[in-house]
């Protein structure tokens, strides 16, 4: 009897497991069904969704969807007139094409909804390009109901890299994934054409929740044992017990519970990121398909405030809100995208109004704009001329640090008639006693950015402390990994094992600065990382040393390299798709393959300077000097102001013992790239090698005075001063290097 019971139990278990496996298989292979299928059961959510910007992210053409004036209107930009009109139910624009001539283009789709709307033109090769003329959808009272140019008063001619028909305005790569549902780029490398597909011309329900076919199956059975009702993820808010901190009068979680699945779902489009694959799977790390930008000084101020166009993610990860478990939908309704309350009442849901909403906190009159929380803690920056974006780092305004670090501040954004010193004095009078005692990450990052004597200790403090946000640590590793003292190296090595893919990724990038021995000892395990962006980066760093990998690691390296090459091949609508593959082939010993890719890249993208300079370098290594000269000259005929090409040509002349011509080219390179340490170093060493030691030292000292203690220039000064028996100076710069870099 016992045997029978066990048999029955096992049979039931097998049946249950089989049902679970079938449902799991169904969820994993779920298909997109369209948002129309959601309406009958989710009417309230659908009504909210239809008033959202997501619903209007992209649309077909009709009088209801086209907001711009196509009634024979015109717009003059830098002396060039564009005409907008309708004909036979179609919408058209007559404007300049890539040859500089006027041509008629038919509009294919609307793009966006408010505060501006753009328009797409489709070409025979499957490309869709974004017109530079935008319609200001705001009311006339607010300055709207007009055409304007995306680059405002900046003149963008048909030869400019930002011209609307160029690769940087290509919808298929630059925009489509975030304005459609289930977008597949489908670039045909051989035909140099796109065959892009998508399910809906909007950000639909399934863009966020994932494909819904398995959920529709679930609605029939209502099987409560099926996870997430047939979806692969659950985007509902986590259950967090919030309590009032009686000292701060702010609600804080009893236990911090983060919902990174939700945040990364939003981050697919609300992060400044490079999308390298269409194979996105809901619920997986979005680093499987995207490489998010850090808060580097290329796009952000040194303290993390937004500088260039930002999409919230890298800003929000800096915030104390994110650190406490707050997510996007704590403030925004997920279906309408509107904020859940207006004015200060939204902030007041967590921050006691009696303490924070009023003159006692803001020192501005209660009804004034200066008492609005967002104006101080989320200052606005306008992008695309009129699109105001709030800084989601939700930071304390620090006009005092504007004086010491040179960053902007919210106070002077409003008080434009007042000095920074005035704002800082007022701020210090009101808040100095309440400021945290430890250094802010702004101060630490500023030390690094300016190559101050305390740089190495600042990086160490930043990386080892739990106080500072992970996105800032990732930024520091990416941007300042060359501060490679032993103790910093240990922290970066620890970052390779972080649970955060973003930290692992940027720790791998930092390892690029280390020796072959260290790289081979630390990185092979990352070739097996579950997150694609991490293992691809590990492969690129290991590429020059792949022949020294063990058998198992070498086999995995080749698998990841193949994965990388396929990813880059699908990027061949841009020069990077050829250029990146060439670098890997060159690093792994296939110089002929690299040469062919560089040549093809130059043919398809003749204004991409890096291909010329890398091919010159490849020919130099192969003693093909005449061919190297031809490539450098060819590049300079197209790009006469490119410092890297002048630099490459200068080195060519030096190798040919034509020192006078070489120095002239190196000087031109240094003049065209005044802040580039490599350009100045090359010119200075050229001067030194031809007997002008004093001038070489003078130029390097001037560079340090202007741009800080950059490692390459310090090393140059130490070497030159040592060789010319200026021992006191050599010791001085060696001491500076030790103080700045820790070695």
Residues 280 and 194 in one domain: no
Which residue, 294, 301, 303, is CA-closest to 273?
294
pLDDT at residue 28, as a whole number = 61
Q: Examine residue 223 and state whether it is found in any structural domain, yes or no.
A: no
- 516 has pLDDT over 90: yes
Q: Examine residue 139 and state whether it is found in any structural domain, yes or no.
A: yes
Residues 329 and 387 in one domain: yes
Q: Examine residue 283 and state whether it is found in any structural domain, yes or no.
A: yes
| Token output for 133 | 């003329």
Residues 328 and 411 in one domain: no
- 520 has pLDDT over 90: yes
- 640 has pLDDT over 70: yes
Q: Examine residue 573 and state whether it is found in any structural domain, yes or no.
A: no
Domain extent, residue 390, equals: 242-341+379-396
Residues 189 and 288 in one domain: no
Which residue, 537, 561, 557, 549, is CA-closest to 477?
537
Residues 130 and 144 in one domain: yes
Residues 180 and 62 in one domain: yes
Among 180, 204, 228, identify where a domain stops.
204
Q: How far is CA 168 from CA 16, 93, 312, 459, in A?
A: 52, 20, 21, 35
pLDDT at residue 310, as a whole number = 86
Q: pLDDT tens, 204-216? A: 999 999 999 999 9
Query: How many CA within 13 A on the CB side of residue 405?
Result: 25
Mean pLDDT of the chain, nearest integer? 94
Rounded to 5 degrees, what are φ and ψ at 164? -65, -20
Answer whether 282's CB lies under 8 Å from 32's CB. Answer: no
pLDDT at residue 622, as a whole number = 97
Q: Examine residue 89 and state whether it is found in any structural domain, yes or no.
A: yes
Q: How far is CA 515 from CA 295, 496, 553, 584, in A?
A: 27, 16, 19, 19
pLDDT at residue 4, as a whole number = 39
Answer whether 529's CB lies under 8 Å from 535's CB. Answer: yes
Q: Examine residue 157 and state whether it is found in any structural domain, yes or no.
A: yes
Residues 321 and 427 in one domain: no
In the chain, pLDDT over 70 holds for what percent of residues? 96
Residues 93 and 175 in one domain: yes
pTM, two decimals, is: 0.93
Q: Examine residue 385 and state whether it is found in any structural domain, yes or no.
A: yes
Answer whether 483's CB lies under 8 Å from 491's CB. Answer: no
Residues 410 and 307 in one domain: no
Q: Examine residue 610 and state whether it is found in any structural domain, yes or no.
A: no
- 21 has pLDDT over 90: no
Q: What residues form DSSP beta bridges with 106?
A: 92
Residues 198 and 246 in one domain: no
Q: pLDDT tens, 426-468? A: 999 999 999 988 999 999 999 999 999 999 999 999 999 999 9
- The number of folded domains in the chain is 3
Residues 334 and 430 in one domain: no
pLDDT, mean of residues 715-741: 96
Residues 247 and 392 in one domain: yes
């Amino acid at each position: 009897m016992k045997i029978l019971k066990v048999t029955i139990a096992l049979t039931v278990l097998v049946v249950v497991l089989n049902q679970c496996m079938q449902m799991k298989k169904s969820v994993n292979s779920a298909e997109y069904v369209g948002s129309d299928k959601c309406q009958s059961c989710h009417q309230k959510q659908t009504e909210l969704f239809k008033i959202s910007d997501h619903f209007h992210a992209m649309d077909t053409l009709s009088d209801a969807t086209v907001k711009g004036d196509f009634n024979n209107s015109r717009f003059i930009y830098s002396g060039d007139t564009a005409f907008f009109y309708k004909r036979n139910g179609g919408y058209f624009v007559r404007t300049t094409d890539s040859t500089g001539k006027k041509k008629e283009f038919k509009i294919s789709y609307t793009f966006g909804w408010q505060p501006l709307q753009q328009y797409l033109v489709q070409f025979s090769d499957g490309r869709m390009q974004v017109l530079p003329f935008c319609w200001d959808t705001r009311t006339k009272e607010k300055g709207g109901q007009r055409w304007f140019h995306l680059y405002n008063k900046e003149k963008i001619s048909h030869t400019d890299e930002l011209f609307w028909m160029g690769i940087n305005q290509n919808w298929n790569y630059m925009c489509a994934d975030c304005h459609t549902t289930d977008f597949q780029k489908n670039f045909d490398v051989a035909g140099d054409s796109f065959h892009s597909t998508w399910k809906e011309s909007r950000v639909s329900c399934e863009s966020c929740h994932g494909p819904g076919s398995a959920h529709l199956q679930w609605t029939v059975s209502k099987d409560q044992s099926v996870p997430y009702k047939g979806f692969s993820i659950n985007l509902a808010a986590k259950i967090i017990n919030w309590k009032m901190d009686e000292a701060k009068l702010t609600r804080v979680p009893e236990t911090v519970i983060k919902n990174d699945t939700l945040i990364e779902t939003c981050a697919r489009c609300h992060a400044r990121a490079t999308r390298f694959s269409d194979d996105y799977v809901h619920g997986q790390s979005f680093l499987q398909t995207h490489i998010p930008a850090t808060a580097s000084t290329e796009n952000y101020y040194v303290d993390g405030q937004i500088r260039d166009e930002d999409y919230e993610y890298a800003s929000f990860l800096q915030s104390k809100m994110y650190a406490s478990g707050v997510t996007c939908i704590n403030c925004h309704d997920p279906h309408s995208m509107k904020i859940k309350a207006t004015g200060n009442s939204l902030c007041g849901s967590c921050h006691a109004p009696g303490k924070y909403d009023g003159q006692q906190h803001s020192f501005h009159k209660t009804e004034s704009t200066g008492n609005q929380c967002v104006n101080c803690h989320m200052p606005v920056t306008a992008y695309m001329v009129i699109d105001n974006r709030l800084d989601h780092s939700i930071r304390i305004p620090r006009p005092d640090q504007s004086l010491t670090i040179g960053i902007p501040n919210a106070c002077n954004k409003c008080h434009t008639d007042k000095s920074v010193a005035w704002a800082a004095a007022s701020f210090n009078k009101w808040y100095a006693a309440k400021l945290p005692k430890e250094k802010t990450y702004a101060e630490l990052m500023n030390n690094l950015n300016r190559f101050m004597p305390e740089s190495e200790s600042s990086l160490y403090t930043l990386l080892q402390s739990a106080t500072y946000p992970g996105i800032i640590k990732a930024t520091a590793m990416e941007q300042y990994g060359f501060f490679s003292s032993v103790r910093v190296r240990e922290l970066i090595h620890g970052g390779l094992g972080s649970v955060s893919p973003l930290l692992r990724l940027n720790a791998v990038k930092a390892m690029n600065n280390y020796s072959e021995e260290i790289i081979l000892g630390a990185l092979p395990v990352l070739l097996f990382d579950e997150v694609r962006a991490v293992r691809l980066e590990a492969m690129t760093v290991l590429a020059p040393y792949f022949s020294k990998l063990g058998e198992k690691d070498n086999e995995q390296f080749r698998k990841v390299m193949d994965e990388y090459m396929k990813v880059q091949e699908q990027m061949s609508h841009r020069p990077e798709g050829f250029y990146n593959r060439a670098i890997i082939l060159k690093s792994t010993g296939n110089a002929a393959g690299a040469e062919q890719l560089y040549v093809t890249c130059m043919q398809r993208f003749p204004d991409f300077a890096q291909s010329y300079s890398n091919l010159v370098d490849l020919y130099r290594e192969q003693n093909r000097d005449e061919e190297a000269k031809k490539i450098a000259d060819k590049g300079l005929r197209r790009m006469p102001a490119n410092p890297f090409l002048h630099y490459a040509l200068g080195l060519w002349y030096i190798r040919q013992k034509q020192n006078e011509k070489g120095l002239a080219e190196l000087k031109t390179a240094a003049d065209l790239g005044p802040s580039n340490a490599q350009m100045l170093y090359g010119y200075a060493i050229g001067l030194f090698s031809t007997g002008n030691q004093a001038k070489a030292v003078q130029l390097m000292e001037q560079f340090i005075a202007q741009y800080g203690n950059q490692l390459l220039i310090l090393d140059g000064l130490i070497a030159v001063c040592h060789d010319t028996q200026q021992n006191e100076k050599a010791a001085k710069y060696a001491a500076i290097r030790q103080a700045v870099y820790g070695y």
